[in-house]
Chains A and B, each alone.
Chain A
Amino acid sequence: MKILENVIANKNLLFTDASTGATTPVGTLYRSLGLNPVEKGLIFLYNDNQVPSIEVLLNFYGTAHAIAVLGQKLHPEFKERLEAEYRPKYIFDSSRDEVQGYLLKEFSETVKIFAKEDYQPDVTIHPDIKILLSTSGTTGVPKLVKLSDENLYQNAVSILQYMPILGTDVVPLNVPINFVYGFSIFTTNCMRAGRIVCTDKDIMQKAFWDEMEEYGYSTLGGVPYLYENLNRIGFFRKDSSSLRYMTHTGGVINAELRKTIFNYCHEFEKQFFAQYGQTEAGGRMAYLTTDGLLEEETSIGTPVHGGSFRIDPETDELLFLHSSISGGYANRLEDLSTYEQPKVLHTGDTGKRGQNGLYYITGRIKRIMKLFGIRLNLDEVEFILKNELEGNTVVCLNGNDKKIIVLYDNIHIDPQTITEIIKNKLRINPQYVRTEHIESFPLSQNGKINYPLLQNLQHENI
């Protein structure tokens, strides 16, 4: 339990609940539920970044349980499917009053957890599996990444080599820890910072900025749209004196905004870390410091300490090597009985190494796009649409990581139906979906839909 040991060793660490102002030292919080350290099984933790979620995470981390950290706002149907498949022993979900087949058990005054009534361990969970994270926040196919304590610890150590965390830092938990990026922010700061503030406010609310003032946040982190929003609300025009550094992941920030952020950092002496990571990598793979914002072409920077990149000579795919690489995926319960760490991680991105030693992403091998930093597998989106559209074929394309483009050839399909399905199943606002009718889908020589051609046609449109 290297992560937990290092968190506990950071004795001065405090956790503050921004909604009540209550503060709990780490020494109390991590063992507040009085769990049996050798107890094992699987717990689903539907996280909302509030103190009880953090408390459940820390307490269960200290036992032999595997913890699936999932978003509390997941679609109820998605939760049901996952629970039916994995039949977890425990479910922590403060958004539900009851779960069928489970009894709500009081673990402390503030923490209640659903316990399975007739729990039978169906499979022996591999002892190396500590944390399970979902690769995509929203899509319909439950796929979990198996991570060990060692994976997460090694990646945290890599991050701590460059992240300027101080023992006096106050860190708002504004990125969900059910995303690997949020998880890394959580672990690294728990290991080295002074105070973690659990808040349910975000930067679009005045209350967040009141809290920033009150607690003196040292850092902010987010995906590109957070920086776009910060820009929109005039954040970069004035100094926030407690802020020392910002972190980012989840895609490219546009050139103009990069310049704005650079000027802000330069004028008010802040640091900015652009990062490239993946759930399967156990966290971060590469980072770029403030000066990198001025690069003409957006680079992902250099590999984190302890990691390295290789470029596949045949496909140009960027390969990552690090002891933090995950032990594979779980698509069903049986998959939890194995943990096999590969030597290299296939990132799914194509890349190149520049003369300056920096790495650059040149494209994607897998059909994946990032909308608001959240990974969307376009094949999965197509699959969902096809299911809902009575088998009608649609093609989903990436509109510059800004919009999902959906092409359909059946003139009788109402485009509104498409946006409606995407909204209901994936919780994506129709403004980020563009539908377009096409006479027929071009086919490649092997009779399959010619995706590269369609994607290229779209690029010309943009």
Chain B
Amino acid sequence: MHTTDEFYEIIASAIAVKKELVDENLTYQEIPEWDSMSHLLIVEALEQFYQVKFDFNDILEMGTVGKIREKMKKYDVLVEN
């Protein structure tokens, strides 16, 4: 089981925002830092850290931090709630 703290940290550092800004509801395009250019940076950072490879349909559905957490379950990456 991975920690939420670590999960948020990866996302925050990929898009260069403070970790406090990251929560379950943070949404794609909600802040200028999370845009179509940086979306793949998040994806790649998660793939690298958790050693998985996401299917592109799942990448397109990672619209919020909460949804990313959900999608990762499919890849057996479990982040504690």
Interface residues of A (CB under 8 A from B): 73, 200, 202-206, 209, 225, 229, 232-234, 372, 419, 423, 427, 429-431
Contact = CB atoms under 8 A, between A and B. Distances in A.
B16 A429 contact: yes
A418 B18 CA distance: 17
Q: Is the interface of B mostly helix, strand, loop or mixed?
A: helix
Contact of A429 (B29, B41, B59): B41
Given A205-B28, A372-B37, A429-B33, A233 B15 contact: no
18 contacts: A200-B29, A202-B29, A202-B36, A203-B36, A204-B59, A206-B57, A206-B60, A206-B61, A206-B63, A209-B60, A232-B59, A233-B60, A423-B16, A427-B33, A429-B15, A429-B38, A431-B14, A431-B41
B63 A234 contact: no
Interface in B33-81: 33, 36-41, 56-57, 59-61, 63
A328 B77 CA distance: 56
A205 B63 contact: yes
A191 B41 CA distance: 38
Contact of B36 (A204, A419, A427): A204
A426 to B, nearest CB: 11
B16 A204 contact: no
Contacts of A205: 28, 60, 63
Contacts, number: 45
Contact of A232 (B14, B28, B56): B56
B28 A204 contact: yes
B16 A431 contact: yes
A95 to B, nearest CB: 12
A202 B61 CA distance: 12
Contacts of A73: 32
Q: Is the interface of A mostly helix, strand, loop or mixed?
A: loop
Interface centre among B14, B36, B39 (most CB of A within 10 A): B36
- In which size bucket is the chain B interface? 10 to 19
A43 to B, nearest CB: 24
Contacts of B33: 423, 427, 429
Contacts of B57: 206
Nearest to A75: B32
Nearest to B32: A427
Contacts of B38: 429
A233 B16 contact: no
A422 to B, nearest CB: 10
A355 B59 CA distance: 45
Contacts of A232: 40, 56, 59
Nearest to B56: A233
Q: Top 4 nearest A-B pairs by Cβ distance?
A: A233-B56, A206-B60, A204-B36, A204-B39
Contact of A229 (B29, B40, B61): B40
Contacts of A209: 60
A229 B60 contact: no
Given A205-B63, A427-B32, A429-B33, 20 more contacts: A73-B32, A200-B29, A202-B29, A204-B28, A204-B39, A204-B40, A204-B60, A205-B28, A206-B57, A206-B60, A206-B63, A209-B60, A229-B36, A232-B40, A232-B59, A233-B59, A423-B33, A429-B16, A431-B16, A431-B41
Interface centre among A204, A205, A225, A427 (most CB of B within 10 A): A204
B28 A234 contact: no
Nearest to A430: B16
B36 to A, nearest CB: 5
Contacts of A431: 14, 16, 41
Nearest to A234: B56
A65 B41 CA distance: 42
Contacts of B60: 204-206, 209, 233
Contacts of B39: 204
B26 to A, nearest CB: 15
A24 B36 CA distance: 29
A372 B29 CA distance: 17
A212 B77 CA distance: 31
A40 B38 CA distance: 41
A440 B38 CA distance: 34
Interface centre among A203, A229, A427, A429 (most CB of B within 10 A): A429
